[in-house]
């Protein structure tokens, strides 16, 4: 067993070996520009279009509704600013939640400096948005609702279908940041009722530096960068063929292995929690409702423990992340845990443990022992 055991798959994932194999010819042999009309260009264009089909299949949309980007941050920027600029004459009000990733909240902050008004809907103690509060926040000038599918820190899954229905009834464009959910839970754009959906390659075993945005046909969107006609002119710039091929393959693998992976990530997460609870009892506090949580994510606080001390104590053996930042001895609680109204002590004691599709029972048992020993030492 290789150490340290990696249990931070919500931060990023390793590149799947099948994805690496698919990428290699595009690093070594196929260098053509997809816009060139001769054969080495055409074959790379075909590779990009094949990837578009593979991505579309995973989220159940048409291939031409997929726009490749460089990352989830770019997809979120394109979705939110793109809709804002395209609809600014219709209205300037946007609804989002208090627990979005900075790749959404910072875009909203920027837009508020440009004359848009943002409503931040609160969440309950488990980090869940109440769809009724979205409904109540709607105004005649609301042009966009953007609510993440699943939270990166605590794993809470939002009631996207219900919010989608509300958006549709009110004729408002609906975007979801699905960076954490694609590949882990179902992300069928029609079932979810979304108009735009963000995908992050490196969260689903593709490399860093590639993302995608689903844009429902008929949705008016302004591009952020201007240039030639790649990606229908919405996201110009010569295609990143290698990474696009990688994302396509990662999506194909994610769809093919969906059931097995889902089972494994949840089996590992639950084995971990059971192991911790059986040895530490009620010193373990789960921060969310596991019924509405990503199957691989465990946001857990260990009573009377500093999460930073714990994560650093075990870092040679197990890699996990914390729900707070520690600078010059001062602890700052993450905005997500704050929005959930978690008390300071619990938040400062919170770690995020996230399992991956290849996490083994042996790794989990080792991690449980490491965590339990560390908690006992640090208590």
Ligand X SMILES: Cc1ncc(COP(=O)(O)O)c(C=O)c1O
Least Å distance between CB 195 and ligand X?
18
Asked if 15 is part of the footprint of ligand X (rule: CB under 6 A), the reply reads no
User: 340 forms bridges with which residues in the sheet?
Assistant: none
- Of 92, 101, 128, 175, the one binding ligand X by CB under 6 A: 101
Q: How far is CA 367 from CA 223, 244, 263, 288, in A?
A: 46, 35, 19, 21
Cβ-based nearer residue to ligand X, 200 or 280: 200
**Residue from 73, 87, 97, 244 that binds ligand X (CB under 6 A)?**
73
Nearer to ligand X, 101 or 235 (CB): 101
In the list 179, 266, 299, 354, the residue contacting ligand X (rule: CB under 6 A) is 179
By C-beta, is 145 or 305 nearer to ligand X?
Answer: 145
* Stretch near ligand X under the rule CB under 6 A, chosen from 65-73, 187-195, 226-234, 283-291: 65-73
Interacting span for ligand X (CB under 6 A) from 35-43, 68-76, 90-98, 158-166: 68-76
Closest to ligand X by CB, 213 vs 280, is: 213
How far is 193 from 163, CA to CA, in rounded Å? 8
103 counts as binding ligand X under rule CB under 6 A: yes
CB neighbours of 215 closer than 8 A, spacing ≥ 6? 65, 66, 67, 79, 195, 196, 221, 234
**Residue the block writes with tokens 């010819």:** 25
Within 10 Å of residue 4's Cβ, how many Cβ atoms? 15
Segment contacting ligand X by CB under 6 A, of 124-132, 173-181, 187-195, 238-246 = 173-181
**Residue pointed to by tokens 């958006």:** 167
CB of 306 to ligand X, least distance (A): 23
Task: For Cα atoms 258, 267, 364, give the angle at the middle one, nearest 5 degrees.
Answer: 120
For the segment 189-208, give every residue that binds ligand X (CB under 6 A): 200, 202
Q: How far is the CB of 30 from ligand X (least distance, A)?
A: 25
User: Which parts of 330-359 interact with ligand X (CB under 6 A)?
Assistant: none
With CA atoms as reference, report the closest residue to 301 among 373, 348, 350, 368: 350
Nearest approach, Cβ of 187 to ligand X (angstroms)?
Answer: 13
Q: Helix 72-86 vs helix 102-112: angle between axes, to the nearest 10 degrees? A: 30
Q: Does 180 bind ligand X (CB under 6 A)?
A: yes
- Grouping H, G, I as helix, E, B as strand and the rest as coil, residue 197 is strand
Q: How many C-beta atoms lie closer than 10 Å to residue 372's C-beta?
A: 18
């Amino acid at each position: 067993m290789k150490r340290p055991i990696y249990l931070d798959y919500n931060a990023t994932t390793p590149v799947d070996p099948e994805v690496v194999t698919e990428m290699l010819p595009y690093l070594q042999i196929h260098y053509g520009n997809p816009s060139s009309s001769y054969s080495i260009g055409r074959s790379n264009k075909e590779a990009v279009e094949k990837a578009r089909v593979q991505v579309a299949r995973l989220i159940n949309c048409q291939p031409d509704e997929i726009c490749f980007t460089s990352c989830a941050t770019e997809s979120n920027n394109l979705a939110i600013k793109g809709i804002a600029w395209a609809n600014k004459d219709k209205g300037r009000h946007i609804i989002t939640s208090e627990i979005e990733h900075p790749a959404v909240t910072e875009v909203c902050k920027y837009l508020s400096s440009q004359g848009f008004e943002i409503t931040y809907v609160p969440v309950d103690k488990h980090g869940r948005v109440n769809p009724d509060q979205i409904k109540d926040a709607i105004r005649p000038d609301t042009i966009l609702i953007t609510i993440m599918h699943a939270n990166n820190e605590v794993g809470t899954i939002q009631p996207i279908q219900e919010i989608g229905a509300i958006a549709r009834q009110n004729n408002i464009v609906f975007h979801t940041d699905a960076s954490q959910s694609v590949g882990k839970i179902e992300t069928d754009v029609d079932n979810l009722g979304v108009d735009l959906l963000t995908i992050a390659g490196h969260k689903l075993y593709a490399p860093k530096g590639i993302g995608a945005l689903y844009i429902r046909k008929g949705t008016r969107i302004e591009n952020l960068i201007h240039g030639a006609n790649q990606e229908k002119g919405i996201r110009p710039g010569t295609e990143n063929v290698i990474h696009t091929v990688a994302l396509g393959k990662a999506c194909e693998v994610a769809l093919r292995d969906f059931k097995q992976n889902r089972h494994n990530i949840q089996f590992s997460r639950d084995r971990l929690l059971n192991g911790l609870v059986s040895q530490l009892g009620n010193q373990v506090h789960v921060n969310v409702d596991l019924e509405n949580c990503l199957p691989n994510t465990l946001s857990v606080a260990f009573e009377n423990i500093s999460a930073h001390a714990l994560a650093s104590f075990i870092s040679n053996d197990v890699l996990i992340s914390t729900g707070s930042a520690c600078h010059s001895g001062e602890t700052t609680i993450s905005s997500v845990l704050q929005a959930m109204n978690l008390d300071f002590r619990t938040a400062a004691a919170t770690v995020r443990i996230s399992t991956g599709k290849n996490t083994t029972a042996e790794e989990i048992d080792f991690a449980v022992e490491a965590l339990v020993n560390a908690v006992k030492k640090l208590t």
